[in-house]
Amino acid sequence: MKADDHMNVVTMKNSKRIVLVAHDNMKKALLEWARYNKDLLARHELYATGSTGSLLSAALGVEIRCFKSGPLGGDQQIGAKIAEGGLDMVVFFWDPLEPHPHDVDVKALLRIAVVYNIPIACNRASADFVISSHLMQEPYERMVEDFEAMQRQRIASLPGRSIISMIPAC
């Protein structure tokens, strides 16, 4: 369904696809939050990065699909999964006081989540508000800007567009 020329509607199902991520200093907080919300989380399809996924699976007794560890490409895998339409929500307890060698990957992940209008919870309070929302238990129509269509339109308006317009869209 198209909302207009530059917006798409993406329908999230009742069961959301949620990725759970935590920096090392925040794993304990994410585990506590996940244990507290175990019954709510169990209704959804869960993903996580490396060791966080192993810890969550053992603590919750539910299936967790795991990506690589964040610094080893997991953040990028999550970003790709969002871009492909394979995730509905990000819970990322990141450590704002510690520098990380993969900070650029973290920033890229947060940026791509915003680009695709994915809910992001970065601390316990925001995660509590999101997970307890009635929207978590029903379909939700998420509006996503069609940046590719906007870019094609911009290119078509450039001088010399007759040559550019012959290039097919991917």
Which pair of tokens denotes residue 153?
């339109």
- Picking from 41, 39, 21, 19, the residue whose alpha carbon sits closest to that of residue 30 is 21
**Active-site residue 95, yes or no?**
no
The catalytically annotated residue of 5, 75, 105, 128 is 75
Contact between 143 and 6 (Cβ < 8 Å): no
| Type of residue numbered 19 | V
| CB contact set of 157 (below 8 Å; sequence gap of 6+) | none
What is the token pair recorded at 57?
Answer: 């699976």
Cα-Cα-Cα-Cα dihedral sign, residues 141, 147, 152, 155: positive
| Contacts for 170 with CB less than 8 Å, ≥ 6 apart | none
- Spatial neighbors of 25 by CB under 8 A, at least 6 apart, are 95, 98
Which positions are annotated as active-site residues? 75
